[in-house]
Amino acid sequence: MKYFFTADQHFGHENIITFTNRPFDSLHEMHSVMTDRWNAKITNEDIVYCLGDFSLASKGKTREYLSRLKGQIKIVPGGHDKWIRQEDRDSGLVIDKLTIIKVAYNGESIPISMCHYPMYSWEKSHYGAPHFHGHSHGNIGTVRDGNDLLHGGMKQGRSIDVGVDCWGFYPMELDELLQIALKE
């Protein structure tokens, strides 16, 4: 089992293609690419934290998108996740708007603060703990790896935007993100 992080899929939101200059000709193409890339990296045993703005579609349509994706999905709500109902919270699909998890990394227990929105300060930030967020669509800092679909990626201090616009429309694995977040 591995941990993955992602945000800002905006399933069902055609205008996001224009708003964020996504390299897709249609909503169908965007959905297909993101679904294929998600399922290429993730197994059904993996845990995937989606840090908001998963879908702008109806609850029923959002369930269809979710049913096509591998992994045990946990959604931190974003501003566009209007489809969320109490039963989604009760089932564990949707978790708190600010969630902190502890992960083992290089023999240490590291707290990661997760929220849809980037924060200036978060729990244990003054001790070097990372913060993962979405919302910014690649508009804070720059990290490039030669992938022509990667047109953002960000790190500001120990804060990282895990949104799909930053990482070639792939979810990112915990160790990949921590290597970047904890790099001085």
CA separation for the pair 103, 90 (Å, rounded):
24
Domain spanning 3-181: CATH 3.60.21.10? yes
Query: Within the chain, where are the H helices?
Result: 16-19, 27-41, 59-67, 86-90, 174-181
Q: What is the pLDDT of residue 155?
A: 63
The per-residue pLDDT for range 21-62, each reduced to its tens digit, is 999 999 999 999 999 999 999 999 999 999 999 999 999 999
92-147 per-position pLDDT tens digit: 999 999 999 999 998 999 999 999 999 989 889 888 899 999 998 887 754 445 44
Contacts of 165 (CB under 8 A, 6+ apart): 8, 20, 22, 137, 138, 151, 152
Tell me if the pTM is above 0.75: yes
The mean per-residue pLDDT over the stretch 71-84 comes to 95
Q: Which residues pair with 1 in a beta bridge?
A: none
- The answer to whether 113 and 103 are in contact (CB under 8 A) is no
CB 106 within 8 A of CB 81: no
